[in-house]
């Protein structure tokens, strides 16, 4: 039977130095790539936070404009009602003036 020590994995001096350098270069490249991905992720998170702040500001402005529009609508409705009352009063005044004018001309 074969010796168990001969079948187990081990590192010895027969490994070529160029393989060790290639593995180290691949590892360094992987670390560099992960660093770039991390940097892009941080940039995306900051951009997302700016967008979120901008969205909150825009929502606040829209809500203020909605309140302002509701107030203006109520004021316009009241103004229309007042104008209708003035027109009715003017028509009555004109009718009375015509009546008086007709009586004085007789």
**Tens-level pLDDT at each residue, the chain (106 residues):** 556 666 666 666 677 888 889 999 999 999 999 999 999 999 999 999 999 999 999 999 999 999 999 999 999 999 999 999 999 999 999 999 999 888 887 6
Question: Could you tell me the residue range of the domain that residue 25 belongs to?
Answer: 15-105
Global pTM value:
0.53
Question: Does residue 3 fall inside a structural domain?
Answer: no
Give the span between the Cα atoms of 43 and 17, in whole angstroms.
39
Question: Does residue 26 fall inside a structural domain?
Answer: yes
Residues 96, 99, 103, 106, CA torsion sign: positive
Question: Does residue 6 fall inside a structural domain?
Answer: no
Number of domains in the chain: 1
């Amino acid at each position: 039977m074969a010796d168990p020590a001969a079948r187990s994995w081990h590192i010895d001096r027969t490994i070529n130095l160029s393989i060790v350098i290639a593995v180290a270069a691949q590892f360094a490249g992987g670390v560099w790539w992960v660093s770039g991905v991390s940097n892009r992720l941080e940039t995306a998170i900051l951009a997302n936070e700016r967008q979120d702040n901008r969205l909150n500001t825009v929502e606040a402005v829209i809500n203020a404009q909605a309140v302002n529009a509701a107030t203006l609508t109520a004021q316009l409705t009241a103004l229309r009602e007042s104008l209708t009352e003035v027109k009715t009063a003017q028509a009555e005044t004109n009718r009375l003036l015509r009546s008086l004018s007709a009586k004085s001309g007789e």
